[in-house]
Amino acid sequence: KKRVQAGWSGCRRVIAGVICDRRVSVRVKGKVYRTVVRPEMLYGLETVALSKRQEEVELEVAELKMLRCLLGVTTMDRIRNEFIRGTVHVGRFGDKVREVRLRWFGHVQRRNMGYISRRMLRMETPGRRKRRRPRRRFMDVVREDMQ
């Protein structure tokens, strides 16, 4: 939820000058989106074990709303999501999250064993996890991403 809010705040900062201006080309709008808005949504997601619903549904829905706003298209126009992504030259948000997560994991794996983040990845807590906790752990998500 915080990442979606951060993305919208970045989008709103840029909307007035660039995104809503019809004189600006879609290519420039897409570049601004990729350099300002998307990094704000991705910030910190490399270390979080998101559920499939959060990753693929909530974040991608928010991104597509922003892209539709950028293109001046509504859902009533019934334009496919792939066409919208292709017009702005943006891939699926879930794929980008996986790429960023694996990149961070690679950085941590290359560090020496004394590095705290590397030790935290291998740490096991004793006992059972509490009820109603997320079933997915970071290493579980990384293993899924690598397959």
pLDDT exceeds 90 at position 58: no
Structure tokens at 138: 């970071």
HSE (side-chain half, CA atoms, 13 Å) at 100: 19
Residue type, 15: I
Number of domains into which the chain is organized? 1
Domain of residue 61, residue span? 2-146
The model's pTM is 0.76
The residues near 133 (Cβ < 8 Å, ≥ 6 apart) are none
Compute the mean pLDDT over every residue in the chain, rounded to the nearest whole number. 81
pLDDT exceeds 90 at position 83: yes
